[in-house]
Amino acid sequence: MLVIPTKDHSEDKRKKSLAISLINPFSGKTIRLPELKDPWKNYILWLVEDAYEVFPRKGILSSDPSLDPDSYQVAIIYSDVSILACFRSGERDWSFLTLKKASHFSAVVYHNGLLHGVEHMGTGKVVRVDDVTAATETIVVPRREGPQGGRTDYLVTTEEGDLLCVQRHLVNNDYDGEFMTFGFEVFKLAQEHSSEQASRKWTAIDSIGDQALFLGDSNSECVLASHFPGCKPNCIYYTEYYFNIFPRGPGDDVGVFNLGTRTFGTIYVPDPAHTPLLPAI
């Protein structure tokens, strides 16, 4: 399924809103969801032309709507402040998480039937959502200090059924606005053995076995490396965090990181002809 934003073409510009549609690329079937409105009731999202302000950055499904039409859920992160909105099949409106705290999210994933989200800007807070309108548990991921720079977090469900939080550390050595990846840390959420919150904690790991992680801004995946010729086990594949910040063009921060040896490898060599800068005369 593809999560697609669509315009509501109203003659009254003030009534324009952001509608979300689910499209099956194979069957062509479309499910139109309710319009997305501002949860604080301060305004309606009618400035659809300002796509960055409202455009969904990420969207996930709890299950396939064609196979589970009565109980699927949709979660999206949208707007320039990364608001988390959720929709359950059969309901009339979207629900918004932790409105009072106005939490912002960089990644979400369904794990063991529950929605998990990691807060934006590297706070390391991962929340589990039982009730769509409230976070029922917050588990802080340990923070590894490094050179002055930035950090972004990813949530990935492994082939073995574990939930991982991948911390990506960025540094700006030349202070030119171009952040480069200098390291990764991976944490696994301990399995829940009781109802006590203390039984769920993040543990640093340096091996994911035969698995490989592929990190993306919209979605991150885990695969068995042995099922894909050329894919390296116990490695993290990554691309630019946000390619528009690279003045020399895409491909500057693309590579593969080995968790065991903590070394970087190259998977793509940029073609100089593709650089947006003109060559020197």
Whether 155 and 78 share a structural domain: no
Dist. CA 257–CA 149, nearest whole Å: 19
| Structural domains of the chain, count | 2
Name the domain boundary from 140, 161, 189.
Answer: 140
Q: 166 pLDDT band (50/70/90 cuts)?
A: very high
Beta bridge partners of 166: 154, 186
- Kindly tell me if the per-residue pLDDT of 160 is higher than 70: yes
Burial label for 165, CB within 10 Å (0-12, 13-18, 19+), is buried
- Kindly tell me if the per-residue pLDDT of 203 is higher than 50: yes
| 145 in a structural domain | no
Whether 26 and 119 share a structural domain: yes
Look up residue 195 and give its two tokens.
């109802």
Whether 86 and 187 share a structural domain: no
Name the domain boundary from 94, 109, 140.
Answer: 140
Q: Which domain holds residue 243?
A: 151-281
- Mean pLDDT for all residues in the chain: 75
| 11 in a structural domain | yes
Residue 25 is predicted with a pLDDT of: 83
- Kindly tell me if the per-residue pLDDT of 261 is higher than 80: yes
Whether 176 and 264 share a structural domain: yes
Whether 273 and 224 share a structural domain: yes
- Please report, rounded to a whole number, the percentage of residues in the chain having pLDDT higher than 90: 22
| Burial 70-94, CB ≥16 within 10 A → b, else e | eebbbbbbbbeebbbbbbebeeeeb
What angle is formed at CA 140 by the lines to CA 60 and CA 56, rounded to 5 degrees? Answer: 25
| 181 in a structural domain | yes
**223-234 pLDDT tens trace:** 999 999 999 999
Whether 108 and 195 share a structural domain: no
Let me know: does 239 contact 253? Beta carbons within 8 Å.
yes
The predicted model scores a pTM of: 0.77
Residue 273 is predicted with a pLDDT of: 62
Whether 178 and 260 share a structural domain: yes
| 146 in a structural domain | no
Dist. CA 173–CA 182, nearest whole Å: 10
Name the domain boundary from 140, 173, 194.
Answer: 140
